[in-house]
């Protein structure tokens, strides 16, 4: 009986050893095997959309208009032969004793409210008579672009700076006919767009005239190149 018990124990031990060796070999093969290829990325609607710098455009005035003061009626994207309407938004002038930053903070609020309501960018040349500041805000009804009209209130002159808003930070925005034209048809009217970054300048902003101001939802921003950005809290 003792001999039989020893044989049973030896057989069990051999079986356990075989199972252990098999498990170790399987684990080793899994550890050294090439990892499985990740699943292909899924492109969500409105993501990964490249927004290029706008095509060159010129402003058009009605006959008899005073350039630099009267609002242009349209912009012309000459390379495509497309004409887009330019819409007035609001004229604003600084209050007596109001400095430039305080005035632009008020402009920021107007721009943010407009873009949040209409989902379009709006913009303006910043002007001054040497004491007070003013803007004449316009839009081309574009979600991702704005044409800064070279106009001031009578008696003011441009200080060679501009201010603009970005479209709101929310889903469901789509490109407009103006986006299609100004992007050189990289964007298409009705195409879903990603949420806008309301607090950072875009590559197109940096490619434009400097310095420029961004009317962010949280703050006012000034840039004079990617390495020279100043944030002004409300």
Residue 169 has pLDDT above 70, yes or no: yes
pTM exceeds 0.85: no
pLDDT at 51: 84
**Among the listed ranges 32-36, 68-72, 148-152, which one has the minimum average pLDDT value?**
32-36
Of the CA atoms within 13 Å of residue 201, those in its CB half-sphere come to 25
Cα separation, 94 vs 130, in Å, equals 12
- Mean pLDDT across the chain: 85
Q: Are 125 and 212 in contact (CB under 8 A)?
A: no
Over residues 132-139, the mean pLDDT reads 98
Over residues 7-16, the mean pLDDT reads 47
Residue 100 dihedral angles phi and psi, to the nearest 5° = -60, -45
> What value, to the nearest 5°, has the Cα angle with vertex 73 and ends 92 and 69?
45
pLDDT at 41: 33
Q: Which of 98, 146, 97 is nearest to 118 (CA)?
A: 146
pLDDT at 11: 47
Pairing of strands 212-215, 157-165: parallel
Q: Which of 54, 59, 52, 53 is nearest to 76 (CA)?
A: 59
Pairing of strands 212-215, 133-139: unpaired
Cα separation, 78 vs 44, in Å, equals 34
Cα separation, 118 vs 97, in Å, equals 32
Phi-psi region of 185 (alpha: psi -120 to 50; beta: other; left: phi over 0): left
Residue 55 has pLDDT above 80, yes or no: yes
pLDDT confidence tier of residue 6, bands split at 50, 70 and 90:
low
**Residue carrying structure tokens 């806008």:** 196
Instruction: Give Cβ neighbours of residue 200 (< 8 Å, ≥ 6 apart).
Output: 214, 221
Residue 7 has pLDDT above 70, yes or no: no
% the chain with pLDDT above 90: 71
Other beta carbons within 10 angstroms of residue 41's beta carbon come to 8
pLDDT tens string 171-188: 999 999 999 999 999 999
pLDDT tens string 85-102: 999 999 999 999 999 999
Q: Are 107 and 165 in contact (CB under 8 A)?
A: no
Over residues 124-138, the mean pLDDT reads 98
% the chain with pLDDT above 70: 79
**What is the 8-class DSSP label of residue 211?**
S
């Amino acid at each position: 009986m003792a001999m039989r018990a020893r044989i049973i124990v030896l057989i069990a031990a051999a079986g356990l050893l075989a199972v252990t060796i098999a498990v170790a070999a399987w684990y080793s093969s899994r550890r050294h095997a090439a990892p499985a290829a990740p699943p292909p990325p899924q492109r969500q609607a409105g993501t990964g959309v490249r927004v290029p710098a706008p095509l060159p455009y010129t402003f058009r005035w009605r006959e008899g208009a005073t350039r630099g003061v009267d609002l242009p009626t349209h912009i012309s994207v000459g390379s495509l032969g497309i004409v887009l309407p330019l819409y007035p938004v609001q004229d604003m002038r600084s209050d007596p004793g109001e400095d430039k930053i305080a005035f632009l903070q008020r402009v920021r609020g107007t721009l943010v409210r407009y873009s949040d309501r209409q989902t379009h960018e709006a913009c303006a040349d910043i002007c001054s008579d040497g004491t007070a500041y003013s803007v004449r805000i316009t839009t081309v009804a574009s979600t991702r672009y704005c044409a800064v009209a070279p106009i001031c209130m009578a008696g003011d002159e441009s200080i060679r700076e501009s201010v603009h808003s970005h479209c709101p930070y929310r889903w469901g925005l789509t490109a407009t006919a103006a986006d299609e034209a100004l992007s050189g048809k990289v964007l298409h009217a009705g195409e879903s767009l990603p949420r806008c970054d309301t607090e950072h300048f875009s590559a197109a902003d940096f490619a434009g005239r400097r310095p420029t101001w961004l009317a962010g939802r949280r703050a006012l921003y000034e840039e004079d190149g990617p390495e020279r950005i100043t944030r002004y809290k409300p």
